[in-house]
Amino acid sequence: MNEIMKTCKKYKRSGIATIAKKMGLYPYFHPITSEQGPLVKMEGKEIIMLGSNNYLGMTGNNQVKSKAIRAMQEFGVGTTGSRLLNGTFALHDSLEQRLAKFLGKQDCVIFSTGMQANLGTISSLLLSIDDSVVISDELNHASIIDGITLAKLPKNRKVIFSHNDANDLKQKLKTVPKGKGIIITEGVFSMEGDVPPLDKITELAKQYDAMLYVDDAHGIGVLGPEGRGAAAKFKVTKEVDILMGTFSKSFASSGGYIAADKAVCNWVRHHARSFIFSASMPPANCATVHAVLDLIENDNSYRENLLCVADKMRKGLDDLGFEIGLSTTPIIPIIIGDEMKAFKFYKKLFNHKPKGIFTNPVRAPAVPKGRELMRTSYMATMTEDLIDDALSIFETVGKKMKFI
Ligand SMILES: Cc1ncc(COP(=O)(O)O)c(C=O)c1O
């Protein structure tokens, strides 16, 4: 038998997914049969949703839904082509211009997913010169790591700095030729909800003449005035060369963007393979982002509610005695340190009666081995009653599992 087929068969027989399934603990691909609000339907039951990235609660917003439906009726359901060829609609151009303005940059390029934005932008920029060097936070998202991998850099051009550690970044920058480096970090780290010291990082980028790329997938819509993101919160928008983000979280859609100088965007439009060789965002997805911008540009209450819910949950989980890391955002991890225990925790939370909780158990490679955790995340539309219910379920299950 072919070796590749043998490996697949072996994994099917005895891989971690199969072991977890046999133990009745498999937590992934669990179908939801309703809209993704603070309460969802799963297995016919009402479940408290603490695993969504629908931070502003916009997936179910009636204004947003009707604008998406209108766009679908006017422009159809798909674009059937790349932006470069037949896939640019006026909706794409207007969204790029609007986002550039919202984010305080000259220009913007929108991709069909955030993953593609990172793959295409990072690889094409690293390939722009023969001796570029990437300086990347050790906990950066898989899409950043894969963007770097696509550039096929030799080892000496890939530098990893300790997570959120400006001192280590400085030491590493000393080893990089001036004017050749790109520092990459996240605005809000996706698994633990902590925020890097962007004030210090921007200073270092300037001092060592390195470009700075911030993936703000979880910061856009959540941090800074009107939700303009982590860089806006730190007042360093100008100093960050490339702001990257996704539409799959606060914007309740699907897609991604980079916002930067016109020259950088022009380079990316003509060199990023994940942009050029993939069909563009469908009209309804673009209209959804426009509709969310219509709301958040004029109303901070969604974001304020979200931060208030997150503060209450963070305090509640901390008071109960869970280990919750250094989150200051609506992503709050519960550190477990063992993947099977994380799967068991998931099942017990989900099966709690009369209401269960949906959370995301996270294992390597999404977190370092030994740092397995339950990723919880919160929505602006979560009520006080649901916060109380959730904390009481965490207390019951946490005590049963001796986590607290
Ligand atoms: C930090 C970060 N960057 C990029 C992405 C990719 O975004 P998308 O879901 O739009 O592909 C994610 C998604 O999980 C993310 O967390």
Residue 115, domain CATH: 3.40.640.10
- The tokens describing 25, both together, are 């603990």
The reply to whether 375 falls in a domain is: yes
Closest Cα to atom 16 of ligand 1: 190
Closest Cα to atom 2 of ligand 1: 217
Cβ–Cβ < 8 Å for 256, 245: yes
- Summary count for the chain: helices (H), strands (E): 15, 13
Q: Return per-residue pLDDT of the chain as tens, 404 residues.
A: 999 999 999 999 999 899 999 999 999 999 999 999 999 999 999 999 999 999 999 999 999 999 999 999 999 999 999 999 999 999 999 999 999 999 999 999 999 999 999 999 999 999 999 999 999 999 999 999 999 999 999 999 999 999 999 999 999 999 999 999 999 999 999 999 999 999 999 999 999 999 999 999 999 999 999 999 999 999 999 999 999 999 999 999 999 999 999 999 999 999 999 999 999 999 999 999 999 999 999 999 999 999 999 999 999 999 999 999 999 999 999 999 999 999 999 999 999 999 999 999 999 999 999 999 999 999 999 999 999 999 999 999 999 999 99
The reply to whether 232 falls in a domain is: yes
Closest Cα to atom 8 of ligand 1: 114
Domain boundary among 276, 296, 316: 296
Across 213-247, b (16+ Cβ under 10 Å) vs e yields: bbbbbbbbbbbbeebbbbbbbbebbebbbbbbbbb
What single string gives the DSSP state of each residue in 38-94? Answer: SEEEETTEEEEE-B---TT-GGG-HHHHHHHHHHHHHH-S---SBTTTTT--HHHHH
Q: Is the dihedral of CA 138, 142, 144, 148 positive or negative?
A: positive
**Which of 71, 39, 70, 43 has the alpha carbon at shortest distance from 57?**
39
Helical axes 301-320 vs 384-400, angle rounded to 10° = 30
Q: For 295-355, where are the E strands, in sequence order? A: 331-335
The reply to whether 2 falls in a domain is: no
Cα(147) to centroid(ligand 1), Å: 12
Q: Are residues 289 and 375 in the same domain?
A: no
Cα–Cα distance, 231 to 212 (Å, whole number): 11
The reply to whether 6 falls in a domain is: no
Cα(251) to centroid(ligand 1), Å: 12
Predicted model pTM: 0.97
Q: Are residues 279 and 142 in the same domain?
A: yes
- Ligand 1, residues 190, 191, 243, 250: which to mutate, most atoms within 8 A of Cβ? 190
Give the three-state DSSP class for 369. Answer: coil
Domain boundary among 268, 296, 324: 296
Cβ–Cβ < 8 Å for 58, 295: yes
The reply to whether 4 falls in a domain is: no
Rounded CA Rg of the chain: 21
Residue range of the domain that includes 92:
61-296
Cβ–Cβ < 8 Å for 120, 144: no
Q: Are residues 41 and 91 in the same domain?
A: no
Domain count for the chain, please give it. 2
Q: Are residues 102 and 187 in the same domain?
A: yes
Q: Are residues 97 and 180 in the same domain?
A: yes
Backbone angles phi, psi at 260, to 5 degrees: -165, -170
The reply to whether 10 falls in a domain is: no
Q: Are residues 41 and 178 in the same domain?
A: no
Q: Is the dihedral of CA 198, 203, 208, 211 positive or negative?
A: positive
Residue type, 145: I
Q: Is 337 left (phi over 0), alpha (psi -120 to 50) or beta?
A: left
Q: Tally Cβ neighbours within 10 Å of residue 95.
A: 23
- Ligand 1, residues 121, 141, 213: which to mutate, most atoms within 8 A of Cβ? 141
Cα–Cα distance, 386 to 289 (Å, whole number): 28
- The tokens describing 178, both together, are 């001036």
Cα(330) to centroid(ligand 1), Å: 16
The reply to whether 54 falls in a domain is: no
CB-count exposure of residue 32 (10 Å: 0-12, 13-18, 19+) = middle
Instruction: Return the active site residues.
Output: 190, 218, 249
Q: Are residues 227 and 314 in the same domain?
A: no
Q: Are residues 38 and 157 in the same domain?
A: no
Helical axes 283-296 vs 90-103, angle rounded to 10° = 30
Cα–Cα distance, 162 to 143 (Å, whole number): 18
Cα(116) to centroid(ligand 1), Å: 9
The reply to whether 262 falls in a domain is: yes
Cα–Cα distance, 181 to 210 (Å, whole number): 5
Give the three-state DSSP class for 323. Answer: coil
Mention every residue, 6+ apart, whose C-beta is less than 8 A from residue 58. Answer: 64, 250, 251, 252, 288, 292, 295, 302
Q: Are residues 279 and 332 in the same domain?
A: no
Domain boundary among 229, 262, 296: 296
Residue type, 64: V
Q: Are residues 272 and 314 in the same domain?
A: no
Q: Are residues 88 and 220 in the same domain?
A: yes
Q: Are residues 268 and 335 in the same domain?
A: no
